[in-house]
Structure 1
Amino acid sequence: MTTTCPSGATPIEAEAFLAAHPQIQAIDILLHDSNGIGRGKIIRRHELMSVFEGGRHLPISILGLDIVGEDVHETGLIWDAGDGDLRAWPVPGTLVPLHGTDPARAEMFLGQYHLDGTPMLSDPRHALALQVEALAKMGLHPSAAFELEFFLLDPERDAMGRVQPARDVLDGRFSAKTEVYSVDQLIGMQPLFTDIYAGAAAAGITAETLISEYAPGQYELTLKYRDNALTAADDLVRLKRIVRAQARRHGVVACFMAKPIADYAGSGMHLHVSLRDDEGRNIFAEAPGAGWTEAIRHALGGLKQTMGESMLVFAPHANSWRRFANQSYAPVSPSWGVNNRSVALRIPAGDVRARRIEHRPSGVDANPYLVAATVLAGIRMGLEERIDPGPETTGNAYEAEAGGIPRDWRAAIEAATGSAFLKEALGAEMHRTFTAVKAAEYARVARTIADVDYDLYLHRV
């Protein structure tokens, strides 16, 4: 058993934080499971030093839970392991104050380790770290940023029991219109977004552009591009928690379902990614007047070839699959193109020095650590095997022949479970845990009688 922190965090960080924030009375310590849900404890101020000095024992079963927090025995992480404790250690640099809490609280991310200090590989953050390390051995380093789309909903349903957009927190005004790119629509939610930006600033992350998106009550926040893919994923899970908490304080509901409203677009979690060499050069950036680099073409080829068997990572829930529809701004085939929002893999327009791939399949309900790990593994495979992506899709990708990805959640679970690529991308332990959790969640949904069953069949069959 080790008492030396394997994550690299030191008590100096805790000492400095406590000295700088004498008002902090408690700290949320969070370990993220296969669904990206933060699970852990709220500790008191005086307990923080001990977490840095000796870690914190947490049950192994935390990483084997389904979406509602129930044990999934097929993961092998429950009674097969005696539901024993492992040791969670602080992730360096993730101890930050929370905005607007009373009494004042902070937040810190944890990584799960075995008692001997080796990483517990059903921890999603470790899965991403392994892919970052694999690229580093090739002399490559990923830069990345996620986009966060979400809905702000009224806490009360409408007369038909359906969710509805939230009223403006400024003055209670209501709109059920799409309002895409309306700046005036943003003004009505400005008090809430002011607190969201303040929460992000307190946490040391840079939330940037705000957009009124393509559905009533839907918004998008972008995050600053990071030179570290792990930090980019940390930013996304932290921003989701900030948005949810600040929305609740303002009396509205932040919704991160992929498709909460049937007749409108769903919410994506696009990942922008590029690769730097050891000298800091963007290997995706072409020379002036030249065509696409071999690196970006091969990266696209790897992502395109592995997309079908990886879709469970990008669309992990039953609701995720309602997002994929023709002309919905969600891709329906493994296509690539330039400055084209109908494709799955987009090369955005802009300065060549910022050349990157925008990976568009993921819903906002996906786990960003697993999304980034799978994307980086696909890129690495494309580079190593020099995979040709085929011709660029121009115009409307929805009019092209669909295919190459599973048609529904069950097919995605089957494809992911049998995928040698995904097993390598996530690591054998994370792959087993993730696919077991998804199979258990599928069984839960399959045995649930939905309202639509009564609507269609109760008085007719």
Structure 2
Amino acid sequence: MRFAPKSELDDFLEENPDIQLLEVLMPDYNGILRCKRIQRREFLSLFEGSFSVPKTVPFLAIRGDMYEGVDPAEIGGDPDQVLRPIEGTLVRVPWFDSPVAQVLTAYADGDEYSWIDPRSPLLKVLSRYSDSSLSPVVVTELEFYLIADGDGARPSPLLGRIPGTGLRQEGIQYCMADDLYECDAFLNDVRQACDIQKVPLTAIHSEFSPGQWEINTHHQSDPVLAGDHAMLLRRIVKSVARRHGISATFMAKPFADIAGSGMHIHASVYAADGSNIFADDDPILPPRLMPTLRHAVAGLGDTINQGMAVFAPNPNSFRRFKAGAFAPSGASWGYDHREVALRVPASSESNRRIEHRIAGADANPYFVLAAVLAGIHAGLERARDPGEPVAREADLSENTVTLPTRIDAAIKMFCEGDILPAYFGRKFVDTYAAIRQGESDDYHSRVPDLDYEWYLRAL
């Protein structure tokens, strides 16, 4: 991916002469697109490489706090950092009444990405693939909830109406046509926004839990671009929902009694001659799971625990992982089985791939893609075997959760890992861990209402 030249701005303004405002989108370590709106007279400075923002922006915590632990040699005095626009991302914003455009940016040092940019760990991993003459192809699948409009203290999922009544439909309604009908205006505006903003939407459907949806993009041979698409897609969904008087959330576990929302990654790897290295030259059914695929699965299994701080970045994220909650309980793998952590979907051999089902929808897509691809690459390098896959008929819904169940344990495993720090770089690992630990300490220092309900009268 390259930075956008000035000619891209000139062409865009010639085609869109009414645009007076530009939203500069800045990804941070939380997977949030921070935003600065600039006037037309400032557009040129961004495309000429002289536009800067505080270097601390990508390190802000989820509420905008700045926690201790980030190297003061990097952020002391809150210095400026140049932003560069990403080629092909200058587009109109369709959900505003005023003429506004947006562009995705990167933190840059000259003509290179700065180490502080959230894409940097993924770029480091991709350089390993290039050195091995391999090319990954990835797809993201995102789950989210639509939230009904309300003014109470707690949100409620947006449920479908039961015709002829004032009741709302509870229970499992996977791929319900009536949900598509009732949300048609919202879904159509999401589709149009994706077209305008060059996000290749492929499918959207209602999920198992009431009010939950899944939205998918097209596979990409450039994983950085896939990360960009996931970031932009979350912005599109949330913004269009607001336009329709509702809201959307990619929070991992917004409701205690129904399933959380995940971000599934499908990944395959291709050799220099264009062949899928996971494919069998002599396909049979059920398929033989080839040694290279098994090595990749083993690498992913080796990185699950040390990657949980990436896959589940917030204290809330870990609420997804409990028996029977439609989320993996441990480092299991298998063919065509949706309860495992690492699934090999049924497909043609040329499309043979691994689906990583652990990350929450709240995770930073760049970091998740980096961790998944690092695990696959490490598995190929180490040539370990993952053991036997879970049988297709096995019921895992009551399995004990063996994944880390608290963010503090996950942060420790991340810092002490033997694979991901080597792929990401120690500076990034220490910085990311400091942000996550700061948020955890802040979160757990608060006294919630539940403390009063349980303890105030009894103790």
Cα distance, 1:173 vs. partner?
Answer: 7.4
How far apart, in 1, do the equivalents of 2:218 and 2:41 lie? 34
How far apart, in 1, do the equivalents of 2:72 and 2:9 lie? 31
1:365-389 Cα shifts (integer Å, max 9, x gaps) = 0000000011111111101111211
Cα distance, 1:162 vs. partner?
Answer: 3.0
Q: Please give the residue correspondences for 1:192-341 in structure 2 after superposition, counting only pairs within 5 Å.
A: 192-287=186-281, 288-289=283-284, 291-341=288-338
How far apart, in 1, do the equivalents of 2:399 and 2:257 lie? 23
Could you tell me which residue of structure 1 aligns to residue 184 of structure 2?
A: 190
Cα distance, 1:77 vs. partner?
Answer: 5.3
Match of 1:128 among 122, 129, 141: 122
Could you tell me which residue of structure 2 aligns to residue 359 of structure 1?
A: 356
How far apart, in 1, do the equivalents of 2:424 and 2:397 lie? 30
Could you tell me which residue of structure 1 aligns to residue 382 of structure 2?
A: 385
How far apart, in 1, do the equivalents of 2:258 and 2:111 lie? 47
Identity of aligned residues (%): 35
How far apart, in 1, do the equivalents of 2:271 and 2:457 lie? 65
Q: Secondary structure at the match of 2:263?
A: coil
Q: Secondary structure at the match of 1:22?
A: coil
Cα distance, 1:100 vs. partner?
Answer: 2.8
Could you tell me which residue of structure 2 aligns to residue 139 of structure 1?
A: 133
- In the alignment, is the contact (CA less than 8 A) between 2:135 and 2:269 conserved in 1? yes
Q: Secondary structure at the match of 1:397?
A: coil
How far apart, in 2, do the equivalents of 1:402 and 1:59 lie? 41
How far apart, in 1, do the equivalents of 2:6 and 2:326 lie? 46
1:418 lines up with 2:416 in the alignment: yes
**Paired letter, 1:216:** P
- In the alignment, is the contact (CA less than 8 A) between 1:298 and 1:389 conserved in 2? yes
Q: Please give the residue correspondences for 1:411-450 in structure 2 after superposition, counting only pairs within 5 Å.
A: 411-450=409-448
Q: Which one is further off, 190-199 or 6-15?
A: 6-15
Cα distance, 1:57 vs. partner?
Answer: 1.0
How far apart, in 2, do the equivalents of 1:341 and 1:55 lie? 49
- In the alignment, is the contact (CA less than 8 A) between 2:55 and 2:75 conserved in 1? no
Could you tell me which residue of structure 1 aligns to residue 36 of structure 2?
A: 41
Are the structure 2 counterparts of residues 123 and 365 from structure 1 closer, same or farther at C-alpha, using a change threshold of 3 Å?
A: same
Cα distance, 1:106 vs. partner?
Answer: 1.6
Match of 1:165 among 157, 174, 196: 157
Unpaired stretches in structure 2, ≥5 consecutive residues: none
Are the structure 2 counterparts of residues 117 and 223 from structure 1 closer, same or farther at C-alpha, using a change threshold of 3 Å?
A: closer
Are the structure 2 counterparts of residues 253 and 77 from structure 1 closer, same or farther at C-alpha, using a change threshold of 3 Å?
A: farther
Could you tell me which residue of structure 1 aligns to residue 80 of structure 2?
A: 85
Q: Which one is further off, 57-66 or 360-369?
A: 57-66
Q: Secondary structure at the match of 1:107?
A: strand
Unpaired stretches in structure 1, ≥5 consecutive residues: 1-5
1:291-324 Cα shifts (integer Å, max 9, x gaps) = 2222211111100011111111000001101111
Could you tell me which residue of structure 2 aligns to residue 58 of structure 1?
A: 53
Are the structure 2 counterparts of residues 356 and 200 from structure 1 closer, same or farther at C-alpha, using a change threshold of 3 Å?
A: same
- In the alignment, is the contact (CA less than 8 A) between 1:147 and 1:269 conserved in 2? yes
Cα distance, 1:180 vs. partner?
Answer: 2.1
1:46-103 Cα shifts (integer Å, max 9, x gaps) = 3222211124211111122111111123112588532111211112222222223221
Aligned length: 452
**Paired letter, 2:410:** A
**Paired letter, 1:270:** H
How far apart, in 2, do the equivalents of 1:34 and 1:280 lie? 33
Q: Secondary structure at the match of 2:387?
A: coil
**Paired letter, 1:378:** G
> What TM-score do the two structures reach when normalised by structure 1?
0.93
How far apart, in 2, do the equivalents of 1:72 and 1:401 lie? 34
- In the alignment, is the contact (CA less than 8 A) between 1:60 and 1:78 conserved in 2? no
1:396 lines up with 2:395 in the alignment: yes
**Paired letter, 2:300:** L
